[in-house]
A and B are shown apart, each in its own frame.
Chain A
Amino acid sequence: MELFGRECRLVVGTRELRGLTKDRPAGNPGLSVSFRVERSLGSDPNTAEIQVVNLSEASRRELEMHEKVSVRLDAGLGGRAPTIFLGELRTAPSTYEAPNWYTVISSGDGDTALKARAAASFQAQVALPEIIEAIAKAMGVGIGNALTVAKKAKFSDGSNVFLESAIITGSAKDELDRVLRGTNLEWSVQDGVLQLLERNQPVRQEAVLLTKESGLVRSPTVDRDGVISARSLMNGELVPGVIVTIRSVTGERTLRVARAVYIGDTAGNDWYVDIAGKAYPGKS
């Protein structure tokens, strides 16, 4: 993995903002992007706050006019720029502070989905995956791994079905919270897709190895609650739900990433991702 050569792409709606890194146009040398993207395994939306310096007047106007368009941010190193955030535009106001224009793009992942309402009735005994599917449909998100994971989930009584009829009604997000409360599942929306995980389980078993050579910036710390935190150079593989094995001078630790904060500035020093999570059993 090359640890130099920043890559960054910002796409709002169908329009890609070019000239952020190596292909920065000579006519607009001040164009830059800084961002803070927060992603987690919680049911609250992932968020991004992206500041673009010196957008053209036409682009600023266009952004202010946009409603409910997608915001995609790709960032990485060494010619690879995976998507680190995909969400919906909330606001994009611009301000002038001589000599620059600053445009702050705020975005949430699954904003519309998390405000959606759900209403459905099921006449007969119904299994959990059917309920999840109905809620996901109401939310307008992709079904992702939800059905596969929900099929294996159990309520506290060991069953997977609502014994009599079933109803979902009201806020789709709240209903998903309530229905899954009785199971061992946690949910989040990642890049517009519903993600279900067994509590404290990863999205896949293969661990990402993080070392000094692969971008580890500083050795991990462990707080009083057992949360392991570490900083890496920008790395799109470090997303909530993955297992990361950190090898540093203090030894080896393995965690399941519960939260990842991506901090970048195409005109400054920041180009990091901060990860945090608890030790993944059996691997640390």
Chain B
Amino acid sequence: MSWDIWPTFDEIVEVALAWFQRDLHTALPGRVVKYNAAEKTANIEVQVKRLLYFPDGSVDTSRTEAFPILPRVPVGQPAGGGYFMHMPVAVGDFVWVHVAERSLDRYRRYGRADAPADERLHHLQHAFAYPMFDPAKMRTVADFVENKLVIGKAGGGPVIAVDENHVNLGDAAATAAVSRADKTDTEIERIWTLLTSWVVSPNDGGAALQAAAKLVRGIAPPGPDQVQSTAATKVKAT
């Protein structure tokens, strides 16, 4: 912007608004430089720099300014209804830094609605962060599968992939089916039944096999039935 002699009122307002906006922080990309797992906070290096301006509002192209390291920023994890998802956070991770409009200090400390002591608005002091895939690397990621929800470790690790028909474990393109415990147990029971209750033909060795099967099954002394279900207690499937 350049003025002939004196700025007009509109130009003054325009410059004032621009100055106002430059210190009104909302969201910035960041990278974790230190992570405190106990308190779930990170020191974060903002991944953009600030431009500096001349008083008339034009950019000083000779200078830029790095933001200070944002210290002990709370790192959020998704949660709701008493449930949560937790992703580990490591140094070097990308995070989106969000800036609350008012100080979070008292809420963080006491966990209740309270008037903030620090009256700064939209200030980097009020930052919180979410771990997120690095947008600068999104185009090069091979782990994503279009049309499937994929949870896993980047770089070729095992994944859980969900589409409208299936849940794939281990690999988003897995084709081999996972067996169900109830059906597996039924089939195993049928084998046990066969082994322990067939009609023995003399002298073909079947009697010995049946006796051994009964012993293992627990039908013979010392009993009782020792065969256990193959069903997991905390994993269900259809």
Interface of chain B residues 127 through 181 with chain A (CB within 8 A): none
Chain A residues within an 8 Å CB radius of B104: 164
Chain A CB within 8 A of B119 CB = yes
Q: Are A155 and B117 in contact (CB under 8 A)?
A: yes
Residue of B nearest to A177 (CB): B120
Interface 9-residue window, one of A178-186, A190-198, A228-236: A178-186
Q: Are B123 and A121 in contact (CB under 8 A)?
A: no
Also in contact, A119 and B71, with CB within 8 A (given A156-B115, A181-B119): no
Chain B CB within 8 A of A11 CB = no
Residue of A nearest to B69 (CB): A121
Q: Are B71 and A157 in contact (CB under 8 A)?
A: no
Q: Pick the contact of B123 from A117, A167, A171 — CB < 8 Å?
A: A167
Q: Pick the contact of B68 from A121, A124, A155, A182 — CB < 8 Å?
A: A121
Chain B residues within an 8 Å CB radius of A159: 117
Residue among A156, A162, A170, A171 with max Cβ neighbours from chain B (10 Å): A170
Q: Are B119 and A165 in contact (CB under 8 A)?
A: no
Instruction: Report the interface size class on chain B.
Output: 20 to 34
Q: For the complex, count residues of A whose C-beta is within 8 A of B.
A: 26
Q: Are A123 and B105 in contact (CB under 8 A)?
A: no
CA distance A122 to B116 in the complex (A): 18
Also in contact, A178 and B120, with CB within 8 A (given A121-B71, A165-B71, A167-B71): yes
CA distance A277 to B21 in the complex (A): 34
Chain B residues within an 8 Å CB radius of A121: 43, 68-71
Chain A CB within 8 A of B196 CB = no
Chain B CB within 8 A of A174 CB = yes
CA distance A36 to B223 in the complex (A): 110
Chain A residues within an 8 Å CB radius of B23: 170-171, 174
Q: Are B106 and A163 in contact (CB under 8 A)?
A: yes
Closest 8 CB pairs of A and B: A155-B117, A165-B71, A182-B119, A165-B72, A163-B105, A119-B68, A178-B120, A157-B117
Give the interface of A toward B (CB within 8 A).
117, 119-124, 155-157, 159, 162-171, 174, 178-179, 181-182
